Amino acid sequence: MAVLENIDIRDILPHRYPMLLVDRILEIEEDRIVGMKNVTANEPFFMGHFPEYPVMPGVLIVEAMAQVGGVLVLKTVPDRKSKLVLFASIEEAKFRRPVLPGDTLIIECRTLKRKETVVKMQGTAKVNGQVVAEGVVMCKLIDRPAPAEAQG
């Protein structure tokens, strides 16, 4: 049973297809979150990323980790519609095995350090209980810029 469905996630994160890489949030606690990404054969990146042997790009697995972590960060921010969570860094990234069409990616992020505008999280991605990728993700919370038409 999901804690947050896709429509709820879209209310929290600004990402949209094809860059929204979180389908559901399965668990959420104060300093821990577990999200899910169903990796389907019709993902746009598979057309050009080894089309004869489609593999989810590692950078997108890391992005999915950052998005799951972003849900955790923004869920606790009262004025989240006026904020963005930007990817600041990845450390100790390791990729253990390929993620293929049909896989269900389960992503867990745990808060390591949290300051007012910076959050550091340990991210782990698994398929069928096996670790496929891991790393330490840092995100920065900023004020959302005003839309271009409102600026000028």
What's the confidence (pLDDT) of residue 81?
Answer: 87
Find the angle CA(3)-CA(68)-CA(110) to the nearest 5 degrees.
95
What's the confidence (pLDDT) of residue 147?
Answer: 78
Joined together, the tokens standing for residue 48 give: 């050009």
Joined together, the tokens standing for residue 35 give: 């999200």
What's the confidence (pLDDT) of residue 146?
Answer: 83
pLDDT tens across 71-97, in order?
A: 999 998 888 889 999 999 999 999 999
> 3-state SS of 16-50?
CCCCCCCCEEEEECCCEEEEEEECCCCCHHHHCCC
**Helix (H) or strand (E) segment spanning residue 127:** strand 118-127
- Secondary structure of residue 147 in the 3-state scheme: coil
The larger pLDDT score, comparing residue 50 to residue 61, is at: 61
- Mean pLDDT to the nearest integer, 55-79: 95
Residues carrying an active site annotation: 49
Q: Is the per-residue pLDDT at 124 higher than 90?
A: yes
What's the confidence (pLDDT) of residue 125?
Answer: 98
Where do the domains of the chain lie, and which CATH numbers do they carry?
6-151 (3.10.129.10)
Joined together, the tokens standing for residue 1 give: 């049973």
What's the confidence (pLDDT) of residue 148?
Answer: 73
pLDDT tens across 103-119, in order?
A: 999 999 999 999 999 99
Q: Is the per-residue pLDDT at 7 higher than 80?
A: yes
Helix, strand, coil shares, percent, the chain, to 5:
25, 40, 35
Return d(Cα 152, Cα 141) in angstroms, integer.
25
- Tokens 């896989």 identify what position? 103
Mean pLDDT, the chain, integer: 94
Q: Is the per-residue pLDDT at 69 higher than 70?
A: yes
DSSP state of 52: T
